Each structure stands twice: as C-alpha cells, then as structure tokens.
C-alpha cells in the first residue's frame, strides 16, 4: 500500500513547552489512522502541523513523497489537498450553510458558482442535510453544524481528511450521526487521520491506532491488538483509565 502521508521525527514546542517530541508515523492511501491519548498529549497539535497551520520546529512531513514542511514551501496548495474538521465546527456564522460550503470551491478552485452549488447540494443530500442549505449556522444543532463542517471540507475534494476530536463537543445523542458520516467517508475510501476520544468507534473504524503520550507515539498497531493486548505500560495505564470512566 503506497504511503500517502509520512510524518518523520517531527518536533514542535510552544515556547519552552515541548508538545511534539520526535513523532513518526505513516498513513497509507485509503487508510484510517486514529490518534488516541490524553488531553495535552499532542494529538491536535500534530494534526495542525500536518495541515501546516503550525510550523514544525524539526523533522519532515511527506505528502505523496514531497516534503511539505520544508520552510518556504507554499502552504495553500497543500491545504487544498488536506481537509480539516475541528472540534468546534468553526462554521462561518455570517454565511448560509450553502455559502459556507461553496466559498472555498469558488474562491480557491475557481469553480463556477452554479456548479459548486450543485455539488454542495448533492453532498448535503447524501448526509441528510439538504433542507438546511439556506439556513444559518446558529439555527442548526451541534450535530448538524459538525456534519456541515465535514461537508464543507469534503467539497474541496481533499485527498486526506484530518478530524480533530470532532465529536468531543457534542452531546451523546448527536455523536452518532457524525460517526455515521465518518463511516460513510471510510466506505468511500477517504484517507483519514482522526484524533478521538471515542474508543469504541476507534476500535471499529481504524486500520491503525496510534497512542500518543507526552508528545511521542508510544505505541501503534491494529485496533484488536492495541485495545486487547497493549504492550507498553503507558498504553495500559491510559486504557485502564478510559475503561474505568466507562468510555470503552
């Protein structure tokens, strides 16, 4: 399986605080990789670095064999190929749902508005949101907003999707509908890197699970092995706490 994304010895600090300490991982094409770990372990930062929202201090990030983290490398084309969805949805409140989705395709990909709108409505239909096309974000529930955010990212036809704890802000009733969307994306063969607290979902959907602890990938492997027989003590500790809190 060809390697779509390779993160190699990436280091990132915020001031004196080291957040990512020598992270290396591969993501193959059409693979789903789940990042798990405690808060502050660096999951979000890693995703933001892959997307070049944060510059890395050291290391490389290879996308289809090109080091996109090289200083001076133009970030905008990279971001067209890498889609990202955030924990707090971040929809544009002054635009309708439809406009939120068509903004980037029209401005960045230069697609004609009518065509962009048609594609947008198709996507909305697929995820059961077509009746919300002219609504504004503040009229939608959290689950609906997050699904719109995912559609917005998909509208750019990315090659990889990064999802940063996208269900963490939703109440349990609404989590399910978002997870369904992610399942659908997997069925379509989307390459994804997910940071998530939903262990059950990670176990179900991931091709590989990476456990981050204090800025390092302490252990990674297939879900069956990671969740049943973790090798490292840090992993065991973390999973024990997760189980104790009833999240697994």
Determine how many CB atoms are found less than 10 A away from the CB of residue 107.
10
Give the per-residue contact string, 193-212, with other proteins (x = CB under 8 A; - = no): --------------------
Q: Which of 23, 63, 91, 199 binds other proteins (CB under 8 A)?
A: 91
Helices and strands of the chain, counted as H and E runs: 9, 10
Nearer to other proteins, 17 or 94 (CB): 94
Size of the site for other proteins (CB under 8 A): 46
Nearest residue to 179 (alpha-carbon basis) of 154, 146, 221: 146
Neighbouring CB atoms inside 10 A of 128's CB total 13
Least distance (Å) between residue 231 CB and other proteins: 35
Interface residue with other proteins among 13, 60, 90, 96 (CB under 8 A) is 90
d(CA 57, CA 20): 9
Using the contact rule CB under 8 A, the part of the chain among 64-72, 174-182, 197-205, 217-225 near other proteins is 174-182
> Could you tell me which of 231, 193, 189 has the C-alpha nearest to residue 209?
193
CA atoms lying within 13 Å on the CB side of residue 56: 29
Q: How far apart are CA 142 and CA 149, in angstroms?
A: 10
Told to check if 214 binds other proteins by CB under 8 A, we report no
Among 53, 66, 114, 240, binds other proteins (CB under 8 A): 53
What does the binding site for other proteins look like in residue numbers (CB under 8 A)? 48, 51, 53, 75-77, 79-80, 82-84, 86, 88, 90-94, 103-104, 107-109, 125-128, 138-144, 147, 149, 152-153, 156, 173-174, 176-177, 180-181, 184
């Amino acid at each position: 399986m060809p390697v779509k994304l390779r993160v190699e010895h990436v280091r990132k600090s915020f001031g004196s605080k080291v957040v990512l300490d020598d992270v290396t991982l591969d993501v193959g094409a059409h693979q789903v990789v789940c990042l798990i770990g405690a808060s502050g372990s660096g999951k979000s930062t890693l995703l933001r670095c892959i997307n070049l929202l944060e510059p890395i201090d050291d290391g490389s990030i290879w996308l289809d064999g090109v080091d996109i983290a090289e200083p001076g490398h133009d970030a905008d084309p990279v971001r067209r190929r890498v889609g990202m969805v955030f924990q707090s949805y971040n929809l544009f409140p002054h635009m309708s749902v439809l406009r939120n989705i068509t903004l980037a395709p029209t401005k960045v990909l230069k697609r004609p508005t009518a065509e962009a709108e048609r594609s947008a409505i198709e996507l909305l239909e697929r995820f059961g949101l077509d009746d919300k096309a002219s609504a504004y974000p503040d009229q939608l529930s959290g689950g609906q907003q997050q699904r719109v955010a995912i559609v917005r990212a998909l509208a750019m036809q990315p090659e990889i999707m990064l999802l940063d704890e996208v269900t963490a802000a939703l109440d349990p009733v609404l989590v399910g509908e978002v997870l369904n969307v992610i399942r659908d994306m997997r069925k379509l063969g989307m390459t994804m890197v997910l940071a998530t607290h939903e262990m059950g979902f990670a176990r179900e959907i991931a091709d590989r699970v990476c456990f981050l602890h204090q800025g390092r990938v302490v252990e990674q492997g297939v879900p069956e092995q990671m969740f049943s027989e973790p090798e490292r003590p840090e992993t065991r500790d973390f999973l024990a706490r997760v189980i104790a809190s009833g999240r697994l």
